Structures are given as C-alpha cells and as structure tokens.
Amino acid sequence: MEQVREKAYAKVNLGLDVTGRREDGYHLVSMVMQTIGIHDDIVVYKTKDPNISLDIDYGGVHLATPLSAGDDNLCARAARVINERLGIGHGYFIHLTKSIPVAAGMAGGSSDAAAVLRAINRLEDAGLTTEELQELAVKIGADVPYCVVGGTMQAEGIGEKLSPLKSFADVPLLVAKPPEGVSTAEVYHALDEQETICHPDMKAICEAVSNGDVDGLAKHMGNVLMDVTLPKYPVVGKIRDLMLENGALGAMMTGSGPTVFGIYRTAQECQKAAEVVRAGGLCETVMATKTIADITK
C-alpha cells in the first residue's frame, strides 16, 4: 500500500464552559464535543525522500491568510510524531483538500492532524490502538485526541480528558461563519478580565445529549466564551438571532468563534434556514449538515 485516504471531520461544541486556569496559563474546560458531517479530505503517500511535505487545496474555503504548509502545520507535526513512534526512515507527501472553514472554532486543523495519524497507522500497517494514537495526539494539540475518534464526548482538563456520551447522531445542523477573524487568545483574555461570568449548565447539557433530547439541549446549550465575544463581534449575535428567527431550536457560537451553528428538527427546516442565512449577506460560509457518530465505526 503506497497511499491512504482519510476524512477529517469538523466538530461543534454543544456546550462549553471554562472552569479554571492552570499555572502554565492553559485554561481548564468542560465541553461537549460533537462531530458533524463537514469534512476535509486527506491523502497520505509514502515517499523515498525522508522529508514530510504538504500540499493544500483550498477548494471553496475562504482565507484571509493561506495556511502554512511548512513544519508548523499540524498535519506535518502529526506525521513527524507518528514517524518517530514507529521508527520509520522514509517520508510522506500529504495532500489536504479543505472544506472545513479555517480559524472557525471547528477543530479543522486538529481534525486534519488526527486524520494523518490514522492514515499513517493504516499505511504502515502499524496496528496502533485508538488509545495509542490518542497518546500521540496529545503531543500535537488539546483537541487532537478527541478528533482521533470523534462522535459525542465530554472533554475536560485542557480538552484531553475524554468521556464518551451516548451518540447524538443525525440531528440537522446549520453552520454559518462570518468573514471576521477571532483571536482565541484574545477571547480567553477577555474572559479572564470578566467580573461576572454566566456558566452553562454542563450537567443538564450532558443529560439532554445522553437522552437524545434535542429540545432539552436547545434549552440548556451554552458557550461561556460567547458573552465575551459578542461585544467585539456583534455579527455573531446577528447570525444566531437570524437562525432562531428561522426555525432553529437553539443556536450559539462554537469554540472561540466566530462560527455559529443552529440545531433543527428536520433537514428541510435546516435547508430552508440556510437559504435565508445565506441571503442575509453576513456570512462567507453557510452549510447545512448533521451530527454524526463515532468516525471509527
């Protein structure tokens, strides 16, 4: 086998709370992570050259600044990490086709890195277990261990402590990203400066998800980072309100933004809302999709 293809799926946060901060500056979080149907495509080729090279096809993804295709790219970092673990002398050529919006709070880079780990594990017939891949993933980024398996999970610590929840698959979901770029560091700094913080009820969110209760999730879903993002990026609130006015049971920002998603009762309602949001002119990317199950099954 000389090449392997993998899909790298995006995620949204059905709930996100910040519970503290470590001495090293990392924030402690409690999140419910959910894989959705939007994905990048990755092909990994063996090469005789010992180096790792990367080519990126942006497709229809809008970018203010192109992604780095150098050694600091998460895909290249993932290839190096697993290469060192397996003790392999040859290199790889990675072709990445982007569909997940960039810098959107949807773990696009982390998911790409996880897909590279899975691809090389298959390409080399290495037989590393999911747990072993996740141990490697921790070295790359906090979201990468989750992205190795995807599905529906509660994440704690800095995002690396994962607890599976009952699958919340096949829920229609609308994703909309405005052109504005949001700095994750600035969002967390603003949260640190906030005197009063409204924390989401993560227990209620987990219970709703575990019970497959879409209405319960819509009632309790929340993102602690949204309150500090809205004053600087009011477009986030405008998109959320537009979704709620057009059939969304609930809508909020995912991650540190600026992407907003809404959950819907039917795919037809979701598609209809997508047309309205697209026509509103606030977003560079609008996609109707759905939640999906564990990507390894």
CB contact at 8 A, 25 and 235: no
Report in angstroms the alpha-carbon separations of 257 from 7, 190, 213, 228, 242: 23, 14, 25, 11, 17
The CATH code of domain 172-290 reads 3.30.70.890
Tens of each residue's pLDDT in the chain, 297 residues: 699 999 999 999 999 999 998 888 888 999 999 999 999 999 999 999 888 999 989 876 665 554 555 667 899 999 999 999 999 989 999 999 999 998 899 999 999 999 999 999 999 999 999 999 999 999 999 899 999 999 999 999 988 899 999 999 999 999 999 998 888 888 888 898 887 888 999 999 999 999 999 999 999 999 999 999 999 999 999 999 999 999 999 999 999 999 999 999 999 999 999 999 999 999 999 999 999 997 865
- The encoded tokens of residue 293 equal 């199950």
40 included as an active-site residue: no
Tell me the CA end-to-end span of the chain in Å, nearest whole number.
22
8 A C-beta contact, residue 30 and residue 202: yes
CATH 3.30.230.10 residue window(s) in the chain:
3-164
Comma-separated ranges of CATH 3.30.70.890 domains in the chain: 172-290
Torsion of CA 140, 145, 149, 154, to 10 degrees: -150
Catalytic residue among 125, 143, 166, 192: 143
Q: Which of 11, 17, 112, 177 is catalytic?
A: 11
Other beta carbons less than 10 A from residue 17's beta carbon: 22
11 a catalytic residue = yes
**CA-closest candidate to residue 225, choices 262, 255, 246, 249:** 255
Q: Which CATH architecture has domain 3-164?
A: 2-Layer Sandwich (3.30)
Contacts of 87 (CB under 8 A, 6+ apart): none
